Structure 1
């Protein structure tokens, strides 16, 4: 974070991804120029996705919405649950679990691969 009397900038780095948020366009341009002089980088424009999260900004209302629906969709697809229907609770409270409902023993790797 950098702050002076009129401007503020946040620069967030995760591995090889960089997010820059500034209070003014001129400050954003100067930070991008300084970084691109020293490092090879690509400008992907306004932030829309980061670390599996979809970011939606409404400048008029001054709001930011963060959603992981696309990421969750890919997880459901990976585990063959794309056609699942959402429910209000994670598990139906009336469901009685039985051994016959289990296909077999799961490996730890199959549960932690994502």
Structure 2
């Protein structure tokens, strides 16, 4: 793996937490809409929709760059449709991104030393 893979994973990681927060806020707004006169669902729905589409686009790019197997890719997609799944995806991607960077640096040092 190379730094291009790390960049793709980092982008997906950076959008996963805001996407999860927007999903939770949308759920809160849905409850408030039904229990009070407050209706922010149209606004929050649009915000969440844009973040979700961004997540899916970056997920597809990361899948291709990291060459995940189908199970790994499916797990990260399923996490995006669970209310708090984005937080778990962010944590998982942080570890994976760090591993990719360490491997890329080791390859670079190995190439320079050889």
Q: TM-score scaled by structure 2?
A: 0.25
Larger relative contact order (CA 8 Å, sep ≥ 6): 2
More helix by share: 2
Which has the larger Rg?
1
Question: Which one has the bigger strand percentage?
Answer: 1
Q: TM-score, normalised by structure 1?
A: 0.25
